[in-house]
A and B are shown apart, each in its own frame.
Chain A
Amino acid sequence: MSSSMFKEKKSKLYLFLIIFTCLAVSIALPLIFKSDLLLSILSQIGVMIIFALSYNMLLGQTGLLSFGHAVYFGLGAYGTIHLLNFISKSALIPVTLLPLAGGLCGLLIAIILGYITTKKAGTTFAMISMGIAEMVHACSLMFPSFFGGEGGISSNRVIGKPGLFGITYGPQIEFYFLILGWVLVAAVLMYAISRTPLGRMANAVRDNPERAEFVGYNPQRVRYFMLILSGFFAGVAGGLNALNYEIVTAETVGAHTSGAVLLMSFVGGIGSFYGPIIGAALITFMQIFIGGISKAWLFYLGLMFILMVLFIPGGVASIINIQISLWQRDQFFKLVPKYLMALIPALIGLLGIIGIIEMSYVLLGNDTNTTDPIWKPLGLVIHVVEIMPWIISVGCVLIGGMGLRWIWSKKIAPSIALAQKAIEA
């Protein structure tokens, strides 16, 4: 017992160390590796972190599944870019504070739309959010003066005189540090909100709205307020996005953006505060790297999402949380060799799945109408019409799946069950 209490105290220390390391890495990485690709990836991740955290305020904390969160993000982006164009000569507002304008746009839209949408919760809310998102998307084609039609609205974030230390936000690295600053501020604020009575009541409304009502709070009001705050931070993210790319198009309010933030938050883990942060980084990496090497990346993303819903609904954060609680009970290091052992069938199975999907894409996506389409992964040449590659791939999937299942049930699950018992004891 005392060992775990000691571990609890050490846990706080380790938490600070982890946060500090992440910060240090995110500051140092672009300075050490002067790669444009890395900088643009990190900037995108930064913006998405704020967006995903704001989304989790709705989904994870208040239990509101929204399919239209891109509305607040996109309208915040549009507001910011119009304001930027407006002050481009006079430079009344420093660009550093411009995302705040995006946030205020998001706040305003959330106040207006939120009143209607939070009248109902659960499934109905999901459909209504989808409907509102479609409505805004339909409007975006009707009002080209605000939405910029097909080409969107573009701008230039270098306005006015250089500020402190000669910062103009022209170079991407300067803007990256602004994004980092905003991520810190937004994350701290959102965490603080989750610890206020409003945040706690949001959790209560998520878990048991009827009881929350008996305690004396109107669930609809609580949802409305959380939506307003979430809309504010989504607008901040939108403003940063607008400034980052210096262009906003109708895609920014579109269904893809809404789907992406849902994916990020869910994959990261909606049960923990830090889940969406992991999800945003992970999904952005996957989009860029897998999108670069395979035509089937959207399929992989969809498949991963479905498998996570069915098997790991808590997301990556839930896996990490289990490991942390195992470590606190001194059970973790016993499991590490078993995890390593499980890695082998997992990799084999993964290879098999990749093989089947990629070969299908080559076979069915045959634009040049050759009779012998070829798949060329990593220097190998595989003729897709032959039966051997298919047999190997299916075999890999079967071996991998069965191996994983065996290791899980025989080695890993009993240890986790033991650890759960120790927790309850």
Chain B
Amino acid sequence: MEFFLTTLWNGLTYGLLLFMLTSGLTLIFSMMGVLNFAHASFYMLGAYFAYQISTWVGFWPALLIAPVLVGILGALVEKYALRRAHRYGHIAELLFTFGLAFLIEEVVHLIWGRTAVDYKVPESLDGPLFTLFSTSFPAYKGFMMLVSVGMLFALYGLITKTRIGLIIQAALSKPEMVEALGHDVPKIFMWVFGGGVALAALAGVIGGNAFVTEPGMAAAVGSIVFVVVVVGGMGSLTGAFIASLLIGFIQTIFVALSINFSDIFNAVGISVDPLSGFGKLTLTEFAPVLPYLLMVGILIFRPRGIMGVRES
């Protein structure tokens, strides 16, 4: 029971963090048709900026300043570089964001070094939130969930209830018409890109000190984010939500189970040598491959994703 609750808590936290990342990516993709390969790099930048700012003025200002800074950076990147690449087609845009991801990682290596930095949870949040059946649930994870859910409600409210949100929704499907009606669509694109990137940075700010803050974090999270987008369906926010939670839970559960493959297969009646390479493998070690297996499965049985729209 206790194991189930802990994994539920951890899985939910991780899944919500994934969704924060994926929602920004899906928003940018739906609007501009460009898949931002550098999205996870902005996540990393958010964590590093927050680390740096928190060493100067503390965690709480960093929570506000770091995403804004990264968002502005993203808007500038969109305006001066991505727009140029847009002229040359989708492949050029993809390649540009790929090169950008690479460059950002090099800059992080340059400024902060190649090892992990000591980005710590603030003292006010360091400790158990509540204790259930002798397992304590960390307060910081609760804070993470609060920020994720709060941000997402704010995003939902912004998109559906405000005027600018309605214009963004319109520009999502009919950008030329919106431009013909007199709105500055390129400027909207720039702010949407900046906003999506700022979301990723916020995820980095809160996730960076719960998980480790190191230059490899972008690559580690980046591929999972793409798996989430493929599994959920390109361009669908609901699909991304379902897929993020699904992958968050599955990975957390498998990482927590240290059962050998030989035990599993022997229990079902197939005999596997417990000392062989395959038999000794535990589910924990197998966990990293799971999201990709899920992706392969979805591609075979339902290529458009859980909630994707059929391609025209």
A-to-B contact residues, CB < 8 Å: 59, 63, 65, 67, 116-117, 119-120, 122-124, 126-128, 130-132, 134-135, 138-139, 141-145, 255, 259, 262, 266, 296, 298-299, 302-303, 305-306, 309-310, 313, 360-361, 364-365
Contact = CB atoms under 8 A, between A and B. Distances in A.
Interface in B56-115: 81, 84-85, 88, 90-92, 94-96, 98-100, 102-103, 106-107, 110-111
Interface residues of B, number: 44
A400 B56 CA distance: 38
Contacts of A128: 230, 295, 299
A227 to B, nearest CB: 14
Nearest to B229: A127
B230 A131 contact: yes
Given A122-B90, A306-B100, A309-B92, A131 B223 contact: yes
Contacts, number: 106
Interface string B278-301: 100100011011011101100110
Contacts of B103: 299, 302-303, 306
Given A116-B296, A130-B223, A360-B110, A306 B99 contact: yes
Contacts of B106: 298-299, 302
Contact of B234 (A124, A130, A310, A313): A124
A119 B308 CA distance: 15
30 contacts: A63-B91, A65-B91, A65-B95, A116-B296, A120-B311, A122-B90, A123-B35, A123-B94, A123-B234, A126-B35, A126-B94, A130-B226, A131-B227, A141-B285, A142-B281, A142-B285, A259-B102, A296-B110, A298-B106, A299-B103, A299-B106, A309-B92, A309-B95, A309-B99, A310-B84, A310-B96, A313-B92, A361-B110, A364-B110, A364-B111
A262 B92 CA distance: 12
Contacts of B291: 131
Contacts of A120: 299, 303, 311
A299 B100 CA distance: 11
B99 A305 contact: yes
Contacts of B223: 130-131, 134
B193 to A, nearest CB: 16
Contacts of A303: 103
B277 interface: yes
Nearest to A305: B99
Interface in B217-271: 219, 223, 226-227, 229-230, 234
